[in-house]
Amino acid sequence: MLNKEMFSTEMNINNVLNGIYRSMAARGLYGELMTQTFTEHLARFYWHGSPVALNSDVSLWANVALFEYGEAPVRRRIQTIWNYTYALIFRLNAFIYNLEAVSDDVMMENRRRVLLGEAYALRAFLHFDMFRLFGPINMTDAHTGLPYNRSHQVMPHPNLPATEFIYLVLEDLAKALVLLEDDPIRTSGVNSNFGAITTDMTLTPEDISARFFRNRRMNYFAARALEARVLLHAGRRQEAANAAQMLIDQIYRTGTFRWEEARTDGQRTTIIQDRNFIFYREVLFGLDNIALHTTWQSLFEGTQLGRTHAVTFSQLRAVFGNFDGALSEVRDIRSRQWTMSNVNPHAITGVIAPPDTHISTRFRREDAERLRNFQPLMRMSELYYILAEVAIFNGRPSDAANAINRVQSMRGLIDLQLLDPATVTLGEVTARLDEEIYREFVGEGQIFFYLKRNNRSVIFDGNGGRTNLLLFFPSTEMVYVLPLPDSETMI
């Protein structure tokens, strides 16, 4: 359709932006590579085999887990992520350019401003994830730079140094936050009561798009959380902590998002009954991914190694602490998402794998209406981890312990299992935060970025135990800074 037709009605404008959200959920981006497979293997969450395995899938993910970025299958996925992301950014630029020219007789000004705010924040979100993958570990590190595209016209863009790139990310976010001041989520909440919405005959499709399901859009609270995330990664830690605390205070004042509390008295919880291991009410921003369940089936439910992304029992023991017996004995409600995989470790010649691999059922969604297609990208607990990370950096272990304890108490841990703020050491609270990141962000792509931001040289290993990266690489930069794709480096 011609631009003038695409932006001639509110319905068409909504459809354009919805198409961008749908494209974000593609398997080449947040529907898989940037959440459930590529980035999780970079974090060494899953069991990984040998690059010389006879099974090509095992070989691929082993290449990723061993950071062999020069291998063709890995470079193809790097290229895919780059292509999908910058294509979406270009579409956002065209959307912004055209929507800014839309008159009031097509769309009410308050609704137009909210959509513009979403678009600016999404542009910042996508650019920042490119920076987290391909950018330097620290802002002061030498780096070739990355392109920041704010044009709706096809043209080359120069690679900007880290400081300039982050400045533009924060500039887009500042614009977004001004535009999102009147986001309905600030006064009416998420509004995701499916039954009431679908039976209310007074609501038009335009009304539903503007007022409801705001956690499935880049809303005001998500943009604020993204600002804290960016500041933290950019080394502006105290600003990040201030932004996170301000947002926590706003959330509690409005009641927009609430903890999904885990009961620990042995009774079945609604979390287990609904398989609500995404903790729905806590998610600040997620995608409506209509392929979420079928993707889960293809990635986790199978019987073939390399196509089933499984975690060893020893890895789970390391992440959830030393325990004996079944995962059901662990008080942390997050452990209940893990179940034995169907993989036969001896089914593939030349592949050796442990017989006790487990899979996550977090995105198993054949029922449960409100959760069915919902894929989280930003959540409330991240704000507390930001507070903890900054407190650790500033040498305040008691403050870090309080922030971590807040999340863990909501996940079912009892007082004896929480950190004692009066006696905890920096080493103890740092180790607990490492565990928390692995427990909390399964399949959300955040673990690798946490490891990179903190330049961790010793990390958990999906094959069990821990790996000291410096035993295999001269520097962690060779692990944490992905090379630019071939399209940017080859003539």
Q: Domain with 141 in it: what CATH number?
A: 1.25.40.390
**C-alpha pair distances (Å), 248 with each of 190, 254, 432:** 16, 10, 21
Tell me the whole-structure pTM to 2 decimals.
0.95
Q: Which residues contact 333 (CB under 8 A, 6 or more apart)?
A: 262, 269, 271, 272, 277, 411, 412
What are the residues facing 439 on neighbouring strands? none
Residue 333 · residue 276 · CB < 8 Å: no
pLDDT of residue 391: 98
Provide the number of structural domains found in the chain. Answer: 1
pLDDT digits (tens), the chain, 491 positions: 557 789 999 999 999 999 999 999 999 999 999 999 999 999 999 988 888 777 788 899 999 999 999 999 999 999 999 999 999 999 999 999 999 999 989 999 999 999 999 999 999 999 999 999 999 999 999 999 999 999 998 888 999 999 999 999 999 999 999 999 999 999 999 987 777 887 888 999 899 899 889 999 999 999 999 999 999 999 999 999 999 999 999 999 999 999 998 865 555 568 888 889 999 999 999 999 999 999 999 999 988 877 889 998 889 989 988 666 677 778 899 999 999 998 876 555 555 667 788 999 999 987 656 678 999 999 999 999 999 999 999 999 999 999 999 999 999 998 888 999 999 999 999 999 999 999 999 999 999 999 999 999 999 998 888 999 999 999 999 999 999 999 998 75
Domain extent for 32: 3-489
H or E element at residue 286: strand 283-288
Paired with 285 in beta bridges are: 378
At 439 the pLDDT is 95
Q: Are 323 and 330 in contact (CB under 8 A)?
A: yes
Token pair listed for 422: 């009066």
Asked if 221 and 184 count as a contact pair (C-beta separation under 8 A), the reply is no
To 10 degrees, the CA torsion angle through 142, 144, 148, 152? 170
Look at residue 141 in the predicted model and tell me its pLDDT: 93
